[in-house]
Amino acid sequence: MSAFSNFHPILLLVYVTVVVVTMFSSFHPIIVALALIGSILYFFMLHGIRTASKDVVYYFFVFLLIAAAYPSYVHNGFTPLFFLNDHAVTLEAVTKGLVLAGAVVATCFWTKNYFEIFTTNKVLAVLTRVSANLGILVSMLWRFIPIFKTKWHEKQMAQRGIGYYKVNSRVEKFRRAFALWRQTLVQTAEFVFVKPDVMKARGYGMTKARTQYRVMRFTKRDGMLTIGLVLFLLYYIGYFSQHRTHYYPEISQQTLGAGHYVIIGLLMLLPFIYEAKESVKWRYLQSKI
């Protein structure tokens, strides 16, 4: 379980939003790099090196694809590096392509991290304050893809065991795989969309007088994170013109000092630092037993 996920659910959403907005509003190469590093390090903390490495390798190729495609189609810029099909590939386009690729991959990793720590019980805790029916519906939709992947894997393993795919024709093999995929999709959708009706039949959300025990409360730790995010937003807005990077017609000069990068780096690396601190603390307490 992630230690960072123990913060209040709304704060987790605000934190990820602040990180992504900071990255895209500035489009600063170093800020994007810090966001990318922070997201990958936290992803490793959540999933372990062996499991996370597969995703990192996949998104590395996504990064290369975006970084190579952007300067191939966008030829703006003041500094040509070479010519491709009679079009100049400029330093500015290459640089912005690298930054854009980093921002896209960082957003993917932050989204994966967020969905990992923002579980269905957190969805219920937040949305049931508005509507009990809305909370159960969104929580079921939230679980749709994980449930589908689990059922798909189970059915594939079972069908392989009885020789379902042992046919010579590739067309027939594809037809059987598609039939199995369609069956899994229908079963998953039925489970997800029927569940709210089942809960309603049991009396869930039928009266506003129903009370709930809320495990997730706003604590002192949440207050400290809130103050930190507010202070960062005030700082970022105050120095926004220096954070913002322009690439055309030429790359704007970077005037930020090292202290600015330290502040932004702490924001981007906060989940990893907090997770590492709690892990060290836990191992220390175990050693004392």
**Per-residue pLDDT tens for 27-79?**
888 889 999 999 999 999 888 888 889 889 999 999 999 988 888 887 777 87
Question: Tokens 């390090």 — which residue?
Answer: 41
pLDDT digits (tens, 9 = 90+) for 65-114: 998 888 888 777 787 777 777 777 788 888 888 999 999 999 999 988 88
Question: In angstroms, what CA-CA distances link 196 with 122, 146, 186, 191, 213?
Answer: 17, 18, 16, 9, 20
DSSP 215: -
**Looking at per-residue confidence, does 285 or 38 come out higher?**
38
Q: What residue type is assigned to position 58 of the chain?
A: Y
The pLDDT-based confidence of 152 (bands split at 50, 70, 90) is confident
What percentage of the chain carries pLDDT values higher than 90? 18
pLDDT value at position 36?
93
The pLDDT of residue 280:
85
168 by DSSP, 3-state: which?
coil
SS (H, E, C) 46-110: HHCHHHHHHHHHHHHHHHHHHHHHHHHHCCCCCCEEEEECCEEEEHHHHHHHHHHHHHHHHHHHH
Residue 84 identity (one-letter amino acid): L
Confidence at residue 61, expressed as pLDDT on a 0 to 100 scale: 93
Based on its alpha-carbon atoms, the radius of gyration of the chain, rounded to whole angstroms, reads 24
Query: What confidence score (pLDDT) does residue 192 get?
Result: 66
The encoded tokens of residue 76 equal 């703006």
Model-level pTM?
0.76
